[in-house]
Amino acid sequence: PHYKAKDGKVYRRECDTLDTFMCSSFYFLRFPDAHNPHELISKDYAEKFLPVDFYSWGKEHTVWHLLYARFINKFLYDQWYITNPEPFMKLVHQGMVLAQDGRKMWKRYGNVIDPLDVIAKYSSDSLRTYLMFMGPVEADKNRNDNALQWVHRFLERVKRLPEFFKHDVHADVDALLHKTIKGVTEKIKKYKFNTAVSKLMILVNKVYEVQQITKWQLKIIAQLLSPFATELAEETWLSLWGEQSVHISTWPTRDESKMLETTVTLPVQINGKKKFEVEVATWLTEADAMEVVKASPSYERLIGTAPIKKVIYVQDKIINIIL
């Protein structure tokens, strides 16, 4: 550890010569077998736990940490220490939360926001849900206090849902609940957390509209909300059941037959401008939706036999006919 120079002085040898990103680029290899004193990782553990199934990291580290991680992984693979040439099966880069002025949060700019201040004013649930609601996970997003307050009010509305408890099941709420189970489940799998939260907001608005919900329905809402507002979901769950935890409960499943019983009002656009509406069953395919649209008197009057160049259809949301 020490070195005696020509001048007769003794100096401590510097061992830490690698960049910090390099040093942190193989911890995921050591993590599964951290107490193994004889090797980096045993072959059995390497085959069982590697490569990493899912890795989420900030996009600023793409050409630092992750570039080194791949080099190191491939080198160790060539030397027969590990059994897979790639370190990660799936990689998602989350975007940055920027200041309200669109710049990166930096002490130099004086625009840094302490999360603890936000939590003290609103709650950790509000902050977590807001971060998920801001936009696509991979996009940079500007902080917006108005949107944060909106999310906070949404969670406050969830707290008041027990005010609408009824024994009877409202058909519209039940149908929308099963649609929400489907939507939230699919959006989470695709990392589209912002639209998952949006679907929960629509469901809560429907409950407030009809002022009716059962305890069983609120139980499912707590489960769907649990990945975002963890504490509120747990409190709601325990108030209904008084045991276990929502976070170890079985994820709810949808009933397709109940979803198909509802209808939606579908706006019809022609060349991007809304012209009329039609009532359609939910979850229709584009072909079935067009059949309903063509049967409308408005279609005959506005389009008739004009050639259709393209149809843009968003299920249950809108249909745009390009002539």
pLDDT in tens, 62-99: 667 778 888 889 998 998 888 889 999 988 888 888 88
Question: Is residue 309 predicted with pLDDT exceeding 70?
Answer: yes
Secondary structure string (H, E, C) spanning 236-251? HHHHHHCCCCHHHCCC
CA distance 263 to 123: 37
pLDDT higher at 21 or 46:
46
Residue 258, pLDDT score: 73
pLDDT at site 260: 55
Q: What is the mean pLDDT of the chain?
A: 87
Instruction: Compare 309 and 135 and report the one with higher pLDDT.
Output: 309
Out of 61-70, 203-212, 262-271, pick the least confident: 61-70
Question: With 70 as the cut, is the pLDDT of residue 262 above it?
Answer: no
- Both tokens of 246, joined, read 């929502």
Map tokens 């609601």 to a residue: 133
Give the position of tokens 């992750």. 66
Question: What torsion do the CA atoms of 311, 315, 316, 319 make, to the nearest 10 degrees?
Answer: -10
Q: Please, which pLDDT band fits residue 129 given cuts at 50, 70 and 90?
A: very high
Residues 6+ apart with CB under 8 A from 197: 129, 132, 133, 151, 228
Please give the Cα distance from 19 to 80 (Å, whole number): 25
- Each residue's pLDDT tens digit, 207-250: 998 999 999 999 999 999 999 999 999 999 999 887 789 999 99
The closest alpha carbon to 232, from 134, 157, 137, belongs to: 157
> Which secondary-structure segment (H or E) carries 265?
strand 263-270
More confident residue, 252 or 113: 252
Report for 62-71, 96-105, 297-306: range of highest mean pLDDT: 297-306
